[in-house]
Amino acid sequence: MSTTSDRTASLSRREILAQWQPDNEQFWNQYGKKIAKQNLIVSTIALTISFCVWTLWSTIAVKLNAIGFHFTDEQLFTLAAMPGLVGATGRLIYTYMPGILGGRNWTFFATALLLIPLWGLAQALQDPTTSYETFFIYVALLGIAGANFSSSMANIGHFFPRSQRGTALGINAGIGNLGVSIIFLMAPIVMGMTIFAPLVGSPQTMQDGTILFLQNTCYVGIIQILITLGLIAKYMDNLPLPKQSPSSMMSIFTNKHTWIMTWIYTCGFGAFIGFSVALSLLVQKEFPEIAFAYGAFLGPFIGAGIRPVGGWLSDKINSGTTITLWSLVGMLIGAIFIMYGITAHNFIIFFCAFLFLFFMTGLETGASFRMIPYIFTNGMQSSLVTGFTAAIGAYGAFFIPKVFGWAYSTYQSVMPAFYIILVFMVITIFLTYWFYARKAAGMKC
Tens digits of residue pLDDT in 26-42: 999 999 999 999 999 99
Select, from the ranges 5-19, 207-221, 317-331, the one with the highest average predicted confidence (pLDDT): 317-331
Q: For the packed helices 33-54 and 103-112, what is the interaxial angle rounded to 10 degrees? A: 20
pLDDT at 263: 97
pLDDT of residue 249 exceeding 90, the answer is: no
pLDDT at 170: 77
CATH superfamily of 245-445: MFS general substrate transporter like domains (1.20.1250.20)
Q: Give the 3-state secondary structure of residue 192.
A: coil
Residue 195 vs residue 309, higher pLDDT: 309
205 beta partners: 211
pLDDT at 275: 96
pLDDT at 10: 65
pLDDT at 256: 94
Q: What is the mean pLDDT of the chain?
A: 90
pLDDT at 259: 96
CATH superfamily of 24-243: MFS general substrate transporter like domains (1.20.1250.20)
Where do the structural domains in the chain lie, given as residue ranges? 24-243, 245-445
The pTM of this model reads: 0.86
Q: What confidence category does residue 8 fall into, taking pLDDT thresholds of 50, 70 and 90?
A: very low
CB 22 within 8 A of CB 242: no
- H helices then E strands: how many in the chain? 21, 2
CB 145 within 8 A of CB 53: yes
For residues 373 and 378, what is the distance between their CA atoms, to the nearest angstrom? Answer: 8
pLDDT at 309: 86
pLDDT of residue 180 exceeding 80, the answer is: yes
Domains 24-243 and 245-445 share a fold: yes
| Least-confidence region, from 8-17, 287-296, 321-330 | 8-17
pLDDT at 48: 96
| Least-confidence region, from 183-187, 201-205, 232-236 | 201-205
Mean pLDDT of 116-145: 95
